[in-house]
A and B are shown apart, each in its own frame.
Chain A
């Protein structure tokens, strides 16, 4: 494996771990598409950050994006709770509107700069090794993205291991959580903050669509295979990492898009789990049916 391949797979795996872990909680809360929503809704934040700072410097962009990510989750919750719009409709209305706002801002104010929605949506994981972090003494520390994603992954890992209990209970039974004094809205916003952070940090390199694929696909696959949340979290991260490896080599072999290949592998993993899962799979259910259906008496 050459160094470039290593960095690309490393980036994919780091994104896979952080979004796979958060994805488990999202699908259990029936909010899987929040990742999708945030990844689109950050666009106006990026444009505004660019307009205010006047540069494409990464930190101001990240700040603008993260702020809009939080605004997006706040609006989703607000429309859902106050206006009584169903959660999925609330997600759909909020992010399309914010994304469109971002596009208008780009076309009106930033049309002549290189800031287009293609790069926002699809990213390009193959370019990760190009943007390296070089110290003042000239030492190359590897790609900047890998460092950033490693930091984000550590934050997410710490968040989920330290506060597993609170996240678990508020996802399963918010009323009971509130009754014993665990604030459901606090943990909702912390979880959504973590999702925003991950989405924003990863979409620049891997693109919005791969983030969404990694957030929902491995978690949904793991959901089919286990009845324990801890196992589900581990499986979800593992499936994401496996997809990053296999996807990279599939792309190499096909000479195609790495992000696309990773998403395809995620889809294949889900399909395999759907067919062969010991508890929820097609095969085992079919076998179960045959065993439990009483044979009709011979006529």
Chain B
């Protein structure tokens, strides 16, 4: 079930990406509509992060191309923002929440120019949107996981893009932060932005997204949530892995495996 749209925000055409000659994404071909909140869903190792990185030009492509707003990434970079996984950076780095948010404005600056009052204002506004204005001068290592994630979002907001690609923004955050973030993403959608989110939890995916990409190395589905989050397509994406646990326990039962290993008794 792959639904294409006309005049897409993002077009991924016949994309194949591999690490060390081992393909991770095969022949992914999809388009995304304007003003949507998109979830990228699939099991571990399905290539969800790889897809985002490939779209952002962070990985070499084996074949295919990516177009954003009908143009190549280099022509349109200022309109696209990227939120990497939180664990990808060293949070002991000497920086404050404001310093990190300011990085979002670096893309609009020339080679030699420095961020000024305007950029600081943008960064502070972005921090306010994620509810972190009181922590602007706090050292980033002293923030909780959820607060660090909000700072990462603030950095993307400070960039004021039209398309946002977020790699697991809900990983390891508390419920309050998750609610705040999804509320913010909805506001962004209302403001006409498109947000693509790598997501793990199938339960919440139903409420959060209006468009879903199901991925397991190959593209399984891409379309409106109601048509993609169906038992049949999920079964196809997770390849029975959803029920793996129950099957393992069944097997243990049948073959009479011991649940715990016992110490061998010496004769």
B-binding residues in A (CB < 8 A)? 28, 162, 164-165, 168-169, 171-173, 175-176, 178-182, 223, 226-229, 231-232
Q: Give chain B residues whose Cβ lies under 8 Å from the Cβ of A180.
A: 77, 82, 106-107, 159
CA distance A169 to B158 in the complex (A): 15
Q: Which B positions have Cβ atoms within 8 angstroms of A?
A: 53, 56-58, 74, 77, 80-82, 84, 88-90, 93-96, 99-100, 103, 106-107, 109, 112, 114-115, 139, 141, 155, 159
Contact of B89 among A164, A165, A172, A178 (CB under 8 A): A172
Distance of A277 Cα from B135 Cα, bound (Å): 23
Give Cα A165–Cα B115 distance, bound, in whole angstroms.
Answer: 9
Q: Is there contact, CB below 8 Å, between A169 and B94?
A: no
23 A-B pairs within 8 Å (CB atoms) are namely: A28-B94, A162-B112, A165-B106, A165-B115, A168-B95, A172-B89, A172-B90, A172-B93, A172-B95, A173-B84, A173-B88, A173-B89, A175-B58, A175-B82, A175-B88, A179-B77, A180-B82, A180-B159, A223-B94, A227-B96, A227-B141, A228-B94, A229-B94
B94 A232 Cβ-Cβ under 8 A: yes
Q: Are A176 and B84 in contact (CB under 8 A)?
A: yes
- Bound Cα distance A251, B99 (Å): 42
CB distance from B73 to the nearest CB of A (A): 9
Give the 7 A-B residue pairs with the shortest CB-CB distance, closest first.
A180-B107, A179-B82, A227-B139, A175-B84, A229-B94, A179-B56, A173-B89
Q: A28-B93, A173-B89 are in contact. Are A182 and B58 (CB under 8 A)?
A: no
| B94 proximity list for chain A (CB < 8 A) | 28, 223, 226-229, 231-232
A residues in contact with B88, CB < 8 Å: 173, 175
Chain A residues, CB < 8 A from B112: 162
Dominant secondary structure at the A interface: helix
- Within 8 Å by CB of A181, from B74, B84, B89, B96, lies B74
Partner of B106, one of A162, A182, A226, A231: A182
Which A residues touch B80, using CB under 8 A? Answer: 179
User: Shortest beta-carbon distance, A13 to chain B, in Å?
Assistant: 24
Alpha-carbon gap, A178 to B112, bound state (A)? 18
Closest chain A residue to B56, Cβ basis:
A179
CB neighbours of B96 from chain A (8 A):
227-228
Asked whether A179 and B106 contact (CB < 8 A) given A173-B84, A173-B89, A228-B94, the answer is no
**Extra A-B contacts (20), CB below 8 Å, given A172-B93, A181-B74, A227-B141:** A28-B90, A28-B94, A164-B114, A165-B106, A165-B114, A165-B115, A168-B95, A172-B89, A172-B95, A176-B103, A178-B56, A179-B84, A180-B107, A180-B159, A223-B94, A227-B96, A228-B95, A228-B96, A231-B94, A232-B94
Q: How many residue pairs between the two chains, A and B, have CB atoms under 8 Å in the bound complex? A: 68
B139 touches A181 (CB 8 A): no
Min C-beta distance of A278 to chain B, whole Å: 13
Complex CA gap A137/B88 in Å reads 60
Instruction: With CB as the reference atom, state the residue of chain A lying closest to B82.
Output: A179
Q: Determine if A179 and B74 form an interchain contact, defined as CB atoms under 8 angstroms apart.
A: no
Chain B residue at minimum C-beta to C-beta distance from A184:
B58
Contacts of B103 in A (CB 8 A): 168-169, 172-173, 176
- Smallest distance from the beta carbon of A218 to chain B beta carbons, Å? 15
Complex contacts, B107 vs chain A, CB 8 Å: 180-181
Chain B residues whose C-beta falls within 8 Å of the C-beta of A227 in the assembled complex: 94-96, 139, 141
B107 to chain A, nearest CB (A): 4
Which A residue's beta carbon lies closest to that of B74? Answer: A181
Asked if A178 and B57 make an inter-chain contact with CB atoms under 8 angstroms apart, the answer reads yes
Most buried by B among A169, A176, A223: A176
Among residues of B, the one whose C-beta sits closest to the C-beta of A169 is B103
Q: How far is the CB of B162 from chain A (nearest CB, A)?
A: 14
Task: Find chain B residues with CB under 8 A from A169 CB.
Answer: 103, 106
A222 nearest CB neighbor, chain B only = B94
Residue of A nearest to B93 (CB): A172
- By a CB distance below 8 angstroms, the chain B residues around A223 are 94
Residue on B with the closest CB to A279? B139
User: Which of A181, A182, A223 has the most B CB atoms < 10 Å from its CB?
Assistant: A181
The distance in angstroms between the C-alpha atoms of A226 and B139, with both chains bound, is: 10
Contacting residues, chain A, for B53 (C-beta < 8 A):
175
Contacts of B141 in A (CB 8 A): 227
Question: Which one of B53, B77, B90 has the highest number of Cβ atoms from chain A below 10 Å of its Cβ?
Answer: B90
Smallest CB-CB separation from B102: which chain A residue?
Answer: A165
- Report whether A178 and B77 are in contact in the complex, using a CB–CB cutoff of 8 Å: no
Q: Choose among A175, A181, A228, A229 the residue with the greatest number of B CB atoms under 10 Å from its CB.
A: A175
Contact A179 B114 (CB under 8 A): no
